[in-house]
Structure 1
Amino acid sequence: MKNVMRKGELFGTIDLDTISNKTHLYGLGPLEYLRGELLIVDGKAYKSTVLSDSTMQVEETFAAKAPFFVYANVANWQEHTLPDSVQTMPQLEVYLDEATKTATRPFAFRLKGTVQAAHVHIVNLPEDTKVSSPQEAHQGQATYTFQDAEAEIIGFYSTEHKAIFTHHDSNMHLHLITSDKSKMGHLDKVKFGAGSMKLYLPQE
């Protein structure tokens, strides 16, 4: 991520189709040249791109490259009910840290259920734009908001990978996709309804 944001290395460094083991594969990152978002959910890859300020295109395809990408194969998940006290991303980050003190890190995780409200963005860098800072990298991005949506969130948690695959101020990187696969993007802000979400952690 640092190479992209600070050094402007926007070109694809990984072709998703070259990840050989796609069984129970999960992953996320931006599309090359910061022209969209990528997400892999249980071996199925999705690419979202901006159509307008209010609409996006989501297609299922492994024919995509990313300048950075984080992925893992997770065959077995342990289901937890997310506590009602966890309703925002900062609260989720604290909860994950406390709940996984003895677990192997970094790790992938999933959330499924009804999202009360969410803000996601899709990077949409204008062609030939030079990037040397996170602010420049997010030029042209589109932000979408929605309420009461059935969705799945794929996230990666690490305390060791700030500016590598999580942002410099967070231990998490999350992408959200609605259950009808019509909306997908980088999750910026969320409000979980009480009792509405299931959390899935890798089974040790």
Structure 2
Amino acid sequence: MNIKNSYLTIAVILLSIQLKAQMPEVSVIGAMKDMGTTYDLNIWLDTISNKPHLYGMGPYDKMKGEITVVNGKPYVASAFTDGAFEVGKDWNIRSPFFVYSNISKWNIFKIEGNLNSVHDIQEKVATIAKENGYNLDQPFAFKIKGEFDAVTAHIVTPRSPEVEGYREGVKSQKFSFENAKGEFIGFYSEHHQGVFTHMDGFVHVHFLMKDKTFMGHLDKISTKGKTITLYLPKNQ
């Protein structure tokens, strides 16, 4: 075999390996649109706790708060008292819908410019992913780390009197922070509106403070003139 044929053989092998490599699968149990008023519980988190690099999110129990799993660690946030919140770690919890993916390796990109809304995050993630060969027809997880000028996030609260933490007329509590360090954990999909994203967008994003003292569903963001870091899953 001559050198030219050797190179051709190697190229074919490498291409075959690349074609076999796939994005980490995104799994979904339940759907936002199917929760109704009963918020039937469809998953025990401990059934997926064996995934060492798990990332995921969904409501905690019957809208008792928020769940975010970051690199195999489950964070649970609740806000039963006016103006206060609690964050703990527990696998022995349930959710009416949950989206998750097991991701061991990430590609790293820099985000330049201002972010002034969740929609801006959606646009930045989609643009960078597309420019780097990601298939936007497939759902994928992402994370963004940095320091943010201002962040507002909410924690849902129970809607039924029989559920712990219920307060009449209160469906969520919002909390705002300035110069907040931490990370956004998100999932992008153009085909899961009403399932794990709202009907008016393609992303579902939670915010986890760097010191792990706060976690919630992202509502607003302001970041001006700062460089922050975007992580997209590597093929596995």
* TM-score, structure 1 as length reference: 0.89
Question: 1:124 maps to what in 2?
Answer: 157
**Pairing partner for 1:187 from 207, 212, 218:** 218
Runs (4+) off by over 4 Å: none
Number of paired residues?
Answer: 195
Cα separation, 1, equivalents of 2:39 and 2:80: 21
What is the deviation of 1:97? 1.9
Cα separation, 2, equivalents of 1:100 and 1:9: 37
Question: 2:203 maps to what in 1?
Answer: 172
- The secondary structure found in structure 1 opposite 2:104 is coil
Shift of the 53–196 alpha-carbon distance from structure 1 to 2, 3 Å rule, reads farther
Structure 2 gap segments, 5+ residues each: 1-31, 163-168
Shift of the 148–196 alpha-carbon distance from structure 1 to 2, 3 Å rule, reads farther
What is the deviation of 1:193? 3.7
Cα separation, 2, equivalents of 1:57 and 1:20: 22
Structure possessing the higher radius of gyration over alpha carbons = 2
Stretch of structure 1 that moved more, 153-162 or 112-121: 112-121
Matched, 1:42 2:71: yes
Deviations 1:29-83 (A, max 9, x none): 1012111000000000000000433220000111110000000011110111112
**Pairing partner for 2:92 from 40, 43, 63:** 63
In the alignment, residue 14 of structure 1 is paired with which amino acid? Answer: I
Question: 2:103 maps to what in 1?
Answer: 74
Matched, 1:11 2:40: yes
Cα separation, 2, equivalents of 1:86 and 1:188: 13
Shift of the 51–193 alpha-carbon distance from structure 1 to 2, 3 Å rule, reads farther
What is the deviation of 1:181? 0.8
- The secondary structure found in structure 1 opposite 2:223 is strand
What RMSD in Å do the two structures reach over aligned CA positions? 1.9
* TM-score, structure 2 as length reference: 0.77
In the alignment, residue 83 of structure 1 is paired with which amino acid? Answer: E
Q: Is the 8 A contact 2:109 2:230 kept in 1?
A: yes
Matched, 1:157 2:156: no
In the alignment, residue 41 of structure 2 is paired with which amino acid? Answer: G
